[in-house]
Chains A and B, each alone.
Chain A
Amino acid sequence: MHVDPFRKEIIFKIVYYGPGLGGKTTNLEFIYSQINPKLRGELVTLKTKEDRTLYFDFLQLELGRVNGKKPRFHLYTIPGQVYYGYSRKIILKGADAVVFVADSQSVRMDENWKTLADLEEKLILQNKSLTSFPWVLQYNKRDLPNIETVRALQTKLNFFNVPFHEAMANKGQGVFETLRTAIQLALAKV
């Protein structure tokens, strides 16, 4: 978090983490498409030629004045592919909260676990842990066939009983609810 009382700004860093092709960028694209252009910056995407996130996506949101202060939110996604581990470490640095975008499809459970373990490893490097760090789970792709039930997902992924939301990021369902929860968790930690 970054506080600037001269400009009366408070900036929060929210990082979208999760396996590749899980819908992290789709979350940001939906937010970008729905927010008043006066209250957001341009969506920065650093992609490969194959349209996969290479380094990160970045979107800045603001809410106007709240009690005379100007809250801003810096939203980042991480590249999901395993070989971009260093990029993830860098982007996670200084995060105030994490949105873990899990893929609800049964065949993707292994990837969800691996990425969650990777997140914990990266947090430990910063002397943090999933047990106490503010994070929220988003069970994405609820509209696809062959998905796990929410109960099964809760058992398999939500070991620490953190808040969760079901989502269909491509249709916008659950996107803002998840972001709101992440912001509230970040604020509660200050």
Chain B
Amino acid sequence: MTNSFNNNNNGNRWVFSEASFEKINGTVNDLCSRLKAHVVVFADMNGYPISFCGDTRRIDINNLTAVGAGTFSATAEMAHLIHEKQQFKYIYHEGESQNIYLCNVGEDYLMIVVFNKNTAVGMVRALTAHAVKKLTGFFSELQGEKEKATEFLDDEFRSLLGKELDKSFRL
């Protein structure tokens, strides 16, 4: 079994192994629970949520991730404009009742934590940094576990997808 990995190498997309995904999921769930966070999302910089937990019924994870990834990328350019050699490591938005903390996980991934005023931002920073360290450790183990995503996209799926598009788009 496999899971997502956004690397595009010569047109081939690669995916995580089940074991790696379980480790990622476990880290995200642990962070969410320890922070009593509303939502924790581990995503790639293209805006795809990979692993998430918390109150995902009330918060649209896909929209949150798309805007979060966009925000993070924009700050990378701000870093460039002020001649900062590396991108900023985290972004923090403080609201009246909800706060958002975003930080990078290596160059290709990010973590989004939504929490309320009962959780100290220092604690969020510390525990998220710990989780990020664990996750980057997993990534170094990924080499050799990759599979082609094309194996997931079989001919039957491709054929049925075309028909479903016609039906949904009323073509």
Expressed in whole angstroms, the minimum distance between the Cβ of B61 and any Cβ of chain A is: 9
Residues of A within 8 A of B157 (CB): 66-67, 69
A180→B171 contact, CB < 8 A: yes
B159: nearest residue on chain A (CB-CB)? A67
A6 interface residue per 8 A CB criterion? yes
Residues of B within 8 A of A93 (CB): 45-46, 73
Interface string of B145-171 (1 = CB under 8 A from A): 000011011101110111011101111
CA distance A13 to B47 in the complex (A): 9
Q: Which of A2, A56, A177, A187 meets B161, CB within 8 Å?
A: A187
Interface window among B33-41, B63-71, B124-132: B63-71
Given contacts A2-B4, A3-B2, A3-B149, contact A90 B74 (CB under 8 A): yes
Expressed in whole angstroms, the minimum distance between the Cβ of A68 and any Cβ of chain B is: 8
Expressed in whole angstroms, the minimum distance between the Cβ of B71 and any Cβ of chain A is: 9
A31: nearest residue on chain B (CB-CB)? B169
CA distance A97 to B6 in the complex (A): 15
Which of A66, A74, A76, A187 has most chain B Cβ within 10 Å? A66
B160→A86 contact, CB < 8 A: no
B1→A2 contact, CB < 8 A: no
A10→B153 contact, CB < 8 A: yes
CA distance A5 to B17 in the complex (A): 10
Chain B interface size band reads 35 or more
Residues of B within 8 A of A10 (CB): 152-153
A58→B166 contact, CB < 8 A: no
Chain A interface size band reads 35 or more
Residues of A within 8 A of B164 (CB): 63-64, 66, 71
Interface window among B8-16, B93-101, B112-120: B8-16
B60→A41 contact, CB < 8 A: yes
Given contacts A41-B62, A93-B46, contact A35 B4 (CB under 8 A): no
CA distance A184 to B160 in the complex (A): 12
Expressed in whole angstroms, the minimum distance between the Cβ of B57 and any Cβ of chain A is: 13
A1 interface residue per 8 A CB criterion? yes
Residues of B within 8 A of A (CB): 1-4, 6, 8, 11, 13, 15, 18, 21, 44-48, 50, 60, 62-63, 66-67, 70, 73-74, 77, 149-150, 152-154, 156-158, 160-162, 164-166, 168-171
